């Protein structure tokens, strides 16, 4: 293995051994009531009995305005909203979902739901009606918070969602036959009796994709905040004088764990940018708010690299620490960070299912550029074979974790069998392939399954294929992730057309638009190839592995089970 090492100078750096000590005295970090807990109380309310009460918790950069909320503001607003939910009949364990862009109501709504003891679910605002239907139907959500524009996509599938009782709209002032304005919360008391939960009780959920089947509802418990708190503290190094910016969307797990829970649990002033990615806007936000800690993703970093040297026009000197997550962080991106900002992006590895960072680079640790780093203290990671047996150092295999860390998913909603499938030979099997070197650093190799990572977002090929065959021209569809220098991977679809349809650029565009509007704006195939036939097993399963090998010009491997080729 080629090793390019980024040396750290010792100084004011977190000492990881402290974590192991502190881990066993959780009460010092997390506030509990005789063994009971609430994650939202820990994120917000408990700061309000300290000097942090009037500290800025949220700096919100909206499209048109900027707003600031102190911890006490958020305590009161989330209490009011929780009271509204109770008035609407919400009960412990109910599912309440949020389908919003990054507006303050998303954050207030999420914490308000968690305060009541219900389960808060999030959906990325690029989702279309099909994706929304799958999630709301499977979770049996009874309450949805959204806005008038996004509600149109819900209306298209509302008849299939009998359990959805209330829709709360952030941008309306008047109740209608099927909606309640979010602003009703203003009339509610600012005090709320926060639900005291068992640590293992459910707090939030979000849907994520696997190789086959519909997206899975990954559910996390209140105790997850313990791990989110500790990792935010030791990996992000959040301190009281920091201005922290996480560029993720709470439709994905990073935006929940480190833009709501772990960050605020540490009392960190957090910047949220409503708008989309834009290099100059991003630099100007860092300059304007004097951002010190920045948590972002490889695709964004690569896009910044490609946008030239515009960072030179802005004052980036406030930055003191940068981290990355979601997909492989290539060495060029790290080298560029060092050149542009004098700082290295610190890679972190984790998943929706793990609820928090597990393998990371740390301020105090020399960085092997290109490695994901080392397991967080208290976490045992290893490389195992398909039977769950540990493999020798340097060998490629399945990246596996010893179960039992505080933010490990508790349930796959409605699907205990899927949950069980993650565990083998006493290990949680991540679905990633990796190796570990002699110094204990982990190196990412790729996914062990067909899951696609496009611009850091996880997409299941089955979901895209199912949406594609809904189009009248498509008879069969096979979908793969094709390597892309900027986005990591792009979605490529191989389509066999129905009789009477023939390939054309118009048809290609029509199909792309169809997927964008039905499934999701980010999960459409950027490339389409029309084919005469698709490689299939005798039982009729499309062999994506063959499509991918052909696309990449690699050996296709054993084809003995192929029926069509
Ligand atoms: C998958 C999980 C964790 C929050 C966002 C993603 C890939 C994640 C890295 C990394 C290489 C990474 C893996 C993983 N991934 N971090 N540092 N290096 N790959 O959560 O959507 O559940 O995706 O993202 O393949 O399994 P997610």
The residue whose C-alpha atom lies closest to atom 24 belonging to ligand 1 is 326
Distance CA 111, CA 46 (A): 13
b/e per residue 78-105 (b: at least 16 CB within 10 A): bbbbbbbbbebebeeebbbbbbbbbbbb
Please, which residues bridge with residue 446 across strands?
A: 433
At 537 the pLDDT is: 85
Sequence-distant (≥ 6) Cβ neighbours of residue 132 within 8 angstroms:
99, 123, 153, 154, 157
What are the φ and ψ backbone dihedral angles of 494, each rounded to 5 degrees? -105, 120
Helix (H, G, I), strand (E, B) or coil at 59: strand
Contact 273, 66 (CB under 8 A): no
453 lines ligand 1 (CB under 6 A): yes
Ligand 1 centre to CA of 531 (Å) is 32
At 471 the pLDDT is: 97
Q: CB atoms < 10 A from the CB of 466, how many?
A: 18
Relative to the CA of 458, which ligand 1 atom is closest?
21
At 214 the pLDDT is: 87
Dihedral sign, Cα of residue 417, residue 116, residue 258, residue 122:
positive
Question: Domain coordinates of the chain in residue numbers?
Answer: 5-433, 452-564
361 lines ligand 1 (CB under 6 A): no
356 lines ligand 1 (CB under 6 A): no
489 lines ligand 1 (CB under 6 A): no
346 lines ligand 1 (CB under 6 A): no
Angle between helices 505-518 and 461-468 (to 10 degrees): 120
Q: In 3D, which of 181, 170, 190, 146 has the Cα closest to residue 44?
A: 190
At 555 the pLDDT is: 84
DSSP state of 47: G
Contact 191, 90 (CB under 8 A): no
Tokens of 408: 């490990």
Ligand 1 centre to CA of 557 (Å) is 27
Q: CB atoms < 10 A from the CB of 3, how many?
A: 11
Distance CA 272, CA 263 (A): 12
Distance CA 78, CA 120 (A): 13
Ligand 1 centre to CA of 432 (Å) is 9
Ligand 1 centre to CA of 191 (Å) is 39
151 lines ligand 1 (CB under 6 A): no
Tokens of 399: 């990246």
Ligand 1 centre to CA of 46 (Å) is 31
325 lines ligand 1 (CB under 6 A): yes
b/e per residue 173-211 (b: at least 16 CB within 10 A): eeeeeebbbbbbbeebeeebebbbbebebbbbbbbbbbe
Distance CA 23, CA 13 (A): 18
Q: Which helix (H) or strand (E) holds 150?
A: helix 148-155
By the 10 Å C-beta count (0-12 exposed, 13-18 middle, 19+ buried), 332 is classed as: middle
253 lines ligand 1 (CB under 6 A): yes
The residue whose C-alpha atom lies closest to atom 6 belonging to ligand 1 is 326
Q: Indicate the pairing of strand 95-99 with strand 143-146.
A: parallel
235 lines ligand 1 (CB under 6 A): no
Ligand 1 centre to CA of 380 (Å) is 18
Angle between helices 298-306 and 331-341 (to 10 degrees): 60
For residue range 279-295, list pLDDT tens digits in order.
999 999 999 999 999 99
Ligand 1 centre to CA of 335 (Å) is 21
Dihedral sign, Cα of residue 64, residue 65, residue 66, residue 69:
negative
At 495 the pLDDT is: 98
Q: In 3D, which of 290, 336, 280 has the Cα closest to residue 310?
A: 280
Distance CA 291, CA 256 (A): 20
447 lines ligand 1 (CB under 6 A): yes
Sequence-distant (≥ 6) Cβ neighbours of residue 391 within 8 angstroms:
382, 383, 384, 385, 397
For domain 5-433, say whether CATH 3.40.50.720 is its number.
Answer: no
Place of tokens 């972002």: 296
248 lines ligand 1 (CB under 6 A): no
Sequence-distant (≥ 6) Cβ neighbours of residue 212 within 8 angstroms:
460, 462
327 lines ligand 1 (CB under 6 A): yes
Place of tokens 């981290």: 323
Distance CA 314, CA 411 (A): 46
Angle between helices 279-289 and 298-306 (to 10 degrees): 100
351 lines ligand 1 (CB under 6 A): yes
Please, which residues bridge with residue 317 across strands?
A: none
At 12 the pLDDT is: 47
Relative to the CA of 352, which ligand 1 atom is closest?
22
Q: What is the 3-state secondary structure (H, E, C) of 544-563?
A: HHHHHHHHHCCCCCCCCCEE
- Residue 69: C-alpha distances to residues 82, 104, 374 (Å): 18, 9, 36
Place of tokens 């791990």: 227
Distance CA 476, CA 495 (A): 6
Ligand 1 centre to CA of 55 (Å) is 33
Pocket test for ligand 1, best of 123, 217, 326, 430 (most atoms within 8 A of CB): 326
What are the φ and ψ backbone dihedral angles of 179, each rounded to 5 degrees? -135, 155
| Architecture of the domain made up of 452-564 | 2-Layer Sandwich (3.30)
347 lines ligand 1 (CB under 6 A): yes
Low pLDDT (below 70) residues in the chain: 1-2, 9-27, 558-565
Pocket test for ligand 1, best of 211, 250, 333, 350 (most atoms within 8 A of CB): 350
CA angle, residues 418, 424, 427, in degrees to nearest 5 = 110
């Amino acid at each position: 293995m080629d090793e390019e090492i980024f040396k750290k100078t010792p100084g004011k750096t977190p000492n990881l051994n402290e974590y192991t000590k502190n881990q066993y005295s959780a009460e010092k970090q997390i506030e509990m009531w005789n063994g009971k807990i609430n994650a939202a109380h820990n994120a917000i309310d408990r700061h309000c009995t300290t000097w942090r009460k009037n500290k800025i918790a949220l700096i919100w950069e909206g499209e048109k305005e900027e707003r600031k909320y102190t911890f006490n503001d958020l305590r009161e607003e989330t209490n009011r909203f929780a009271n509204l939910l109770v008035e609407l009949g919400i009960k412990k364990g109910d599912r309440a979902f949020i389908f919003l862009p990054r507006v303050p109501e998303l954050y207030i709504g999420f914490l308000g739901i968690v305060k009541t003891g219900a389960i808060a679910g999030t959906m990325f605002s690029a989702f279309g009606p099909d994706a929304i239907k799958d999630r709301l139907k499977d979770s049996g959500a009874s309450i949805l918070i959204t806005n008038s524009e996004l509600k149109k996509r819900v209306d298209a599938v509302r008849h299939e969602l009998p359990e959805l009782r209330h829709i709360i709209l952030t941008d309306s002032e008047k109740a209608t036959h099927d909606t309640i304005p979010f602003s009703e919360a203003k009339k509610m008391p600012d005090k709320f009796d926060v639900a005291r939960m068992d640590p293992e009780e459910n707090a939030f959920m979000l849907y994520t994709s696997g190789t086959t089947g519909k997206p899975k509802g990954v559910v996390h418990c209140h105790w997850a905040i313990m791990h989110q708190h500790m990792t935010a503290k030791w990996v992000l190094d959040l301190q009281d004088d920091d201005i922290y910016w996480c560029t993720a969307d709470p439709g994905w797990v990073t935006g929940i764990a480190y833009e709501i829970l772990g960050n605020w649990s540490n009392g960190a002033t957090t910047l949220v940018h409503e708008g989309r990615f834009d290099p100059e806007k991003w630099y100007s936000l860092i300059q304007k708010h004097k951002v010190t800690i920045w948590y972002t993703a490889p695709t964004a970093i690569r896009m910044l690299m490609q946008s030239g040297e515009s960072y030179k026009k802005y004052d980036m000197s406030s930055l003191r620490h940068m981290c990355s997550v979601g997909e492989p962080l290539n060495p060029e991106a790290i080298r560029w960070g060092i050149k542009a900002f004098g700082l290295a992006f610190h890679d972190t590895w984790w998943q929706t299912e793990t609820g928090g960072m597990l393998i990371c680079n740390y301020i105090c640790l020399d960085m092997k550029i290109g490695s994901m780093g080392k397991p967080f203290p208290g976490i045992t990671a290893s490389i195992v074979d398909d039977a769950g047996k540990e493999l020798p150092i340097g060998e490629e295999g399945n990246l596996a974790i010893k179960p039992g860390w505080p933010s490990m998913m508790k349930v796959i909603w409605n699907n205990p069998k899927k949950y069980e499938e993650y565990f083998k030979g006493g290990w949680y099997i991540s679905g990633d392939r990796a190796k570990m070197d002699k110094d204990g650093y982990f190196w990412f190799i790729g996914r062990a399954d067909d899951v696609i990572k496009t611009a850091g977002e996880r997409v299941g090929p089955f979901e895209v294929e199912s949406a594609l065959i809904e189009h009248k021209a498509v008879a069969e569809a096979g979908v793969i992730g094709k390597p892309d220098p900027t986005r990591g991977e792009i979605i490529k679809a191989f389509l066999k057309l129905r009789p009477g349809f023939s390939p054309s650029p118009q048809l290609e565009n029509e199909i792309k638009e169809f997927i964008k509007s039905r499934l999701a704006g980010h999960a459409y195939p950027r490339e389409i190839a029309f084919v005469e036939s698709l490689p299939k097993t005798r039982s009729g399963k499309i062999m994506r592995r063959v499509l991918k090998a052909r696309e990449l010009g690699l050996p296709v491997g054993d084809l003995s089970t192929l029926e069509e080729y």
